[in-house]
Amino acid sequence: MPLSANILDGKKLSTDIKNEIRAEVSQITQSGKRAPHLVAILVGGDPASQSYVRNKMRSCEYVGFSSTLKRLPSTVTEEELLEKVRKYNDDPDVDGIIVQMPLPEHITPQRVTQTILPTKDVDGFHPVNVGLMTLNFPCLLPATPQGILEMLERYNIPTKGKHCVVVGRSRIVGRPTSIMMSRGGHPGEATVTITHKYTPAEELKRICPQGDIVIVAVGKPGLITAEMIKPGAVVIDVGINRVKDDSKKSGYALKGDVDFGPVSEKASFITPVPGGVGPMTVAMLLRNTLLAYKMSHGMAEMEQMTKDLYE
Ligand code: NAP
């Protein structure tokens, strides 16, 4: 008898979270303090990046943050970009800085990531934050993995002692998600298997059906099929792929890495694409910006410990 999965509604959850942030920001500004301020740097004119950044800026406005979008031409040199980042690092009125990826080939993304001050690194990509996250110390957590765990928590999905299969090992999604799922606390305490490009296809087919929770972040539409999912598993699809679709005005449709229709008949919970992990990532970016603001204003509970760790 096929199960019909419950939808993990990232769109609704992210709206709930944004409303919580908005209420907190309103209290802050009513007390006479300035609003949190996020700066986004966008290099070049990649259409997907423009749309992501626009969405982030709109969300800032919704919750009552100040926001600055700094556009730079794709011909900007690495040093010029780093100089801009340093300028925002030194600006006490800026709480969070993001540099939208991907960057043109002549710019090394790691150099950019490492130049952002860890206390303003609201994407949670800086090696200092990655190290703190790995050790389960307070820090700015990477936004997408944080969004995935937040979803599991708000839907009361147990993770302790469960087998979590993570497909993909990127620095921004797969690897940090695998670490956060195996750490102590809730959500976490899972037994984690991580797979990647060199995991043979047959192995992937053998490992995935062992997962109570399967988290997929690869960028290959339809990679995960129904045979790879055990009945009742929780399936989180991070993938966002533009697939040609002449019936759409834009000429493309957004698809995940999971074959949604057949898998949703076997899984107990599943994220849609779009409307699943994507909106949660934006909500966590806002949450990190608020946290960065609170740390610099002595308002975060974890303030002292974090200060010690960051210095
Ligand atoms: P990425 O940096 O390209 O990483 C893809 C990962 O998948 C790599 O670790 C790669 O392995 C692995 N991989 C490739 N083929 C595989 C296979 N057959 N089996 C298992 N693993 C395989 O991509 P990313 O930044 O993690 O993004 C992944 C997808 O998620 C993309 O579609 C992206 O657009 C989307 N995304 C969505 C959000 C969101 O908010 N929803 C956020 C970020 C990314 P190697 O390491 O061996 O190359």
Residue 124 is assigned to a structural domain of this protein: no
The pLDDT of residue 93 is above 80: yes
Are residues 87 and 174 both part of a single domain? no
Assess whether 112 and 191 both reside in one domain.
no
Residue 285 lies in a domain: no
Rounded CA-CA distance 53/80 in Å is: 20
Residues 268 and 231 in one domain: yes
How many angstroms separate the CA atoms of 65 and 57, rounded? 9
Atom of ligand 1 nearest to the CA of 147: 40
Q: How many domains does the chain divide into?
A: 2
Residues 271 and 151 in one domain: yes
Residues of the domain holding 110:
32-116
Do both 177 and 215 map to the same domain? yes
| Helix/strand/coil for 115 | helix
Check whether 233 has a pLDDT greater than 70: yes
**Residues 166 and 258 both lie in one domain:** yes
Active-site residue (options: 100, 162, 266, 294): 100
Is residue 271 included in any domain, yes or no?
yes
> pLDDT tens digits for 158-175?
999 999 999 999 999 999
Instruction: Supply the pLDDT for residue 187.
Output: 97
pLDDT for the residue numbered 278: 97
Helices (H) and strands (E) in the chain, counts: 11, 11
- Co-location of 255 and 151 in the same domain: yes
Please give the pLDDT value at position 306. 67
Given 95, 123, 237, 257, the catalytic residue: 123
224 token code pair: 């995960």
pLDDT classification of 2: cutoffs 50, 70, 90: low
DSSP structure string for 123-182: T--SHHHHHHHHTT-S----HHHHHHHHHHHHTT---TT-EEEEE---TTTHHHHHHHHH
- Taking residues 212-229, report their average pLDDT: 98
Together in a domain, 161 and 229: yes
pLDDT band at 309 (very low <50, low <70, confident <90, very high): confident
Taking the C-alpha atoms of residue 278 and residue 51, their distance in angstroms, rounded to an integer, is 12
Q: What pLDDT is attached to residue 310? A: 77
Residue 188 backbone class (left: φ over 0; alpha: ψ -120 to 50; beta: rest)? left
* Mean pLDDT of all residues in 66-79: 98
Cβ of 167 less than 6 Å from ligand 1: yes
Residue 123 located in a structural domain: no
- The CA 223 to ligand 1 mean position distance, Å, reads 11
Are residues 153 and 274 both part of a single domain? yes
Both 146 and 273 in a single domain? Answer: yes
pLDDT-above-70 percentage for the chain: 97
| Cα of 240 from ligand 1 centre, angstroms | 9
How many Cα atoms within 13 Å fall on the side-chain side of residue 47?
3
Assess if residue 130 is contained within a domain. Answer: no
Residues 96 and 149 in one domain: no
Q: Helices 143-154 and 277-296 meet at what angle, rounded to 10?
A: 110
pLDDT for position 303: 59
Rounded to two decimals, the pTM is: 0.96
Residues 6+ apart with CB under 8 A from 221: 239, 241, 243, 255, 256, 257
Q: What is the mean pLDDT of residues 189-203?
A: 98
Active site residue 123: yes
Asked if residue 129 is part of any domain, the answer here is: no
CATH code at position 107: 3.40.50.10860
138 pLDDT exceeds 80?
A: yes
Task: Say if residue 265's pLDDT is above 60.
Answer: yes
- The C-alpha R_g of the chain, in whole angstroms, comes to 20
Residue 238 belongs to a domain: yes
- Nearest CA among 132, 142, 134 for reference residue 98: 142
Q: What mean pLDDT value characterizes the chain?
A: 96
User: Taking 90 as the threshold, does the pLDDT of residue 104 lie above it?
Assistant: yes
Q: How confident is the model at residue 245 (pLDDT cuts 50, 70, 90)?
A: very high
Is residue 300 very low, low, confident or very high in pLDDT (cuts 50, 70, 90)? confident
Contact 86, 115 (CB under 8 A): yes
Is the per-residue pLDDT at 208 higher than 90? yes
Question: What is the pLDDT at residue 157?
Answer: 98
Active site residue: 18, 56, 162, 255, which one?
A: 56
Does residue 62 sit within a domain?
yes
Among residues of the chain, what percentage have pLDDT more than 90? 94
**Cα-to-centroid distance, 197 and ligand 1 (Å):** 9
Q: For residue 311, what pLDDT is reported?
A: 75
pLDDT tier for residue 242 given thresholds of 50, 70 and 90: very high
- When pLDDT is cut at 50, 70 and 90, the band that residue 304 belongs to is low
